[in-house]
Structure 1
């Protein structure tokens, strides 16, 4: 029975110690005191009550103190509660302090809360980064395409990290500068002979204005000759002109065919009217005979004239055929 009581007491003691050490991080407090960081145990317990992990605050504070920096625990805790990365901010401050870069905690915290990697920015300020642009296609005045690849050496500008444009803007501006410079060249040979003129012209445009970087240099890595864009455009224009001319010719042909069909329709209509008029002649003559306007002798003379006319037409045709036979002989 006494053994059971003893085990229960031991279990209660273990649970009590676990609860105690979970709310009272004694080991972390001892580590802070050993590192020269003066912090009370009640402060650590208050962090627990504010749902702040004490190690996320105390360990960066220990690093900052060892690096000779004067940071307060309230600053770190406020940044943590705001959703920032305290450890990364402290590492960036230490790196900036070692590199003699003026960086205050408030600015570093603002950069971190803005979504930028403040430690990477400090490292880029010390060690500049090289950005390689994709192939930029530009056309000189002679119509020849030139393909350029540039390497841009940039250094982070900590003062403009908040609100400054990123790498995409740098690449876009450099590409625009290359296109403008090549486009103003009289010949693609000038670009091939002196590619440094591109980098010097582009670098003098101040392309890093409003960005989070400072452009140190722009180097042309590769220059290639592409298509003859001028000849291609002329060929396309000639093809378009040919298609327009063909369309106009087809339109004129269609109009001519329509006019021909209209003339044929008119001829048919006129023939129909002639046939209709000829069909009325016998009726008119019969009516004239009945009414006495035309005598029998007049009618006979008319028939004789008609027969004589037909005979002469027949003789004419026979004479034409005879002459053709003579020529053939």
Structure 2
């Protein structure tokens, strides 16, 4: 029993010490401090604890700092920590600074941090400054003055401009400007054969326009990768115009025909109306004559004389028709 009473407090104390050491070692990066000290980077233990209190991961600061010191860069802990707190990628910035130093490209920490915070890959930008990138444009179609379509595709060799990475336009602007230059050059050619015979005319004209102004790149060269002949757009436009003119003419002719039909129907309606009035007037003649005979205003002899005049008129009319040169002896046409 005395043995049991003495061992339990000892075990409890050992457990407490282990827990305290675990908490201390998890909060204070002893191994990171030793690694920095072995690399010749002096980072105080208080500084590491203060990083923990400021919710900064010490490894995100110390490891890039060790890398920078080994590369000969003079960077301070506060610089890296402030960039980390601003939401930047400290490791990428340090790698970019090392690559720029090796390539003899003037790049300071503030500029690299600003590029990183702007959302651009500063390491890729430095690498592109050393090794230019080739941007291939989509097929651009344009029409020459003779109406023939020409389809061209270009390859643009660009190099990153470190000074214009912040606020400069990206690759989409380069592609759009080159495409616009291709369309302008092809459109100013009198014949499509001129473009096919001298495709370098496109690259020279486009390159002379200074298309990299205001962008994050510097255009080194523009090479025409492919030139093809497309459709005869001029002939197609003329065909479409002729078809449209034909349809307009047909519509106008149909309108005139409809108006003529309507006018003819109106004239027929008027003739029928006049015939009806004549029939109505002829029907009134016997009634008027009977009324005149009944009232004594017309005598019998007057009536016979009137009938003789009508018969004589009919006879004269038949003689005139028989004398017509367009009739035969039997009165036929």
Q: TM-score range by the shorter chain?
A: over 0.9
Structure 1 length-normalised TM: 0.92
Q: How far 1:136 sits from its partner (Å)? A: 0.8
Aligned to 2:240: 236
Q: How far 1:290 sits from its partner (Å)? A: 2.8
Matches within 5 A, 1:56-205: 56-205=60-209
Q: 1:250 to 1:15 in 2, by over 3 A?
A: same
Deviates more, 1:63-72 or 1:181-190: 181-190
Aligned: 1:323 with 2:330: yes
Distance in 1, matches of 2:232 and 2:260, equals: 42
Aligned to 1:247: 251
Q: How far 1:293 sits from its partner (Å)? A: 1.4
Cα deviation code 1:222-270 (max 9, x no counterpart): 1111111111111111111111111111111111111111111111111
Out of 39, 44, 48, the residue aligned to residue 40 of structure 1 is: 44
Distance in 2, matches of 1:266 and 1:69, equals: 109
Distance in 1, matches of 2:246 and 2:163, equals: 60
Stretches of structure 1 that go unaligned for 5 or more consecutive residues are none
Structure 2 length-normalised TM: 0.91
Q: 1:3 to 1:302 in 2, by over 3 A?
A: farther
How many aligned residue pairs are there? 326
- Contact map agreement 2:148 2:230 (CA 8 A) in 1: yes
Aligned to 1:298: 302
Cα deviation code 1:196-239 (max 9, x no counterpart): 11111111110000000000001111111111111111111111
Secondary structure, in 3 states, of the residue corresponding to 2:154?
Answer: strand
Q: How far 1:187 sits from its partner (Å)? A: 1.1
Distance in 2, matches of 1:144 and 1:13, equals: 88
Secondary structure, in 3 states, of the residue corresponding to 1:115?
Answer: coil
Q: 1:292 to 1:4 in 2, by over 3 A?
A: farther
Deviates more, 1:244-253 or 1:11-20: 11-20
Q: How far 1:322 sits from its partner (Å)? A: 7.2
Q: How far 1:300 sits from its partner (Å)? A: 3.4
Stretches of structure 2 that go unaligned for 5 or more consecutive residues are none
Aligned to 1:30: 34
Out of 274, 280, 288, the residue aligned to residue 276 of structure 1 is: 280
Q: 1:234 to 1:316 in 2, by over 3 A?
A: closer
Q: 1:283 to 1:8 in 2, by over 3 A?
A: farther
Distance in 1, matches of 2:232 and 2:298, equals: 91
Distance in 2, matches of 1:133 and 1:66, equals: 42
Q: RMSD of the TM alignment (CA)?
A: 2.3
